[in-house]
Copies of this chain bind each other. A is one copy, B any other.
């Protein structure tokens, strides 16, 4: 499978999917740069008047609720509906799920619009599945990804979507298949928006790879391995943020295949 994963990375570079992002203010710059670094093409737009047009020209849509408000929630609902009409996959990043009732109410409405995939940390996936045993602390996870596997299985069955749980071990759950990735570096938790970049990269892969499970494994492996390799030359989170963009851009097949730690 690992050889397939590398081919998927090349497919994204070659096909350069256009990914439309309705995402939070904090990470927009990094998200756009992460998409560019892997060879995709980002667009950020949220005006109600152009949501329908955008879903016609883009190849996938990211909805990230990080800094949501009433106007942006309406943008998200229009965009997800239009993405569905145009058979474009849309990916949900439930930032801060469980932190406030408003977030949970918005997430419930979004789940009804059938995302192709969801990516979040364990606390968020647990909250989304109403399996929360732990209290969300802001946007950071206080649970391990392994604790959220049942919640991910539930979401997969209930909403027909693939789920990626980010954490020390990343877990990809889809239709009875489960994969675990043990790449990454703890310093990645000290940079804002790593998860948001992972979601955007996931969208780029799902946009152009037919096998959705492999797409998700490739996308998740790419950012985790890039982070792991970038951390080796990083004195702290500032340089890691920069080095990850460089590594997403210049990672080689040898680096990828030598470092991937994938298991069922």
Q: Which A residues fall within an 8 A CB radius of B?
A: 18, 24-30, 32-33, 36-37, 41-50, 53-54, 57-58, 66-71, 96, 99-103, 137-140, 189-193, 234-239, 241-250
A25-B44, A246-B236 in contact; A101/B33 too (CB < 8 A)? no
Q: Determine whether the beta carbon of B48 is less than 8 Å from that of A69.
A: yes
Residues of B within 8 A of A140 (CB): 41
Residues of B within 8 A of A236 (CB): 37, 245-250
Residues of B within 8 A of A190 (CB): 36-37, 249
A133 CB to nearest chain B CB (Å): 17
Q: Determine whether the beta carbon of B241 is less than 8 Å from that of A241.
A: no
Q: Determine whether the beta carbon of A245 is less than 8 Å from that of B237.
A: yes
Q: Determine whether the beta carbon of A44 is less than 8 Å from that of B70.
A: no
Q: What CA separation (Å) do A238 and B48 show in the bound complex? A: 32
Q: What CA separation (Å) do A24 and B69 show in the bound complex? A: 15
Residues of B within 8 A of A242 (CB): 238-239, 241-242
Q: What CA separation (Å) do A242 and B137 show in the bound complex? A: 26
A194 CB to nearest chain B CB (Å): 10
A249 nearest CB neighbor, chain B only: B236
Q: What CA separation (Å) do A238 and B241 show in the bound complex? A: 8
A44-B24, A70-B47, A137-B41 in contact; A53/B102 too (CB < 8 A)? yes
Q: Determine whether the beta carbon of A29 is less than 8 Å from that of B26.
A: yes
A21 nearest CB neighbor, chain B only: B26
A18-B137, A54-B99 in contact; A246/B239 too (CB < 8 A)? yes
Given contacts A37-B190, A41-B140, 7 further A-B contacts (CB under 8 A): A32-B192, A33-B237, A41-B139, A43-B96, A234-B246, A238-B246, A241-B242
A37-B238, A238-B33, A242-B238 in contact; A46/B69 too (CB < 8 A)? yes
A189 nearest CB neighbor, chain B only: B36
Point out the residue from B29, B37, B54 that lies within 8 Å of A27, measured CB to CB.
B29
A29-B29, A69-B48 in contact; A36/B249 too (CB < 8 A)? no
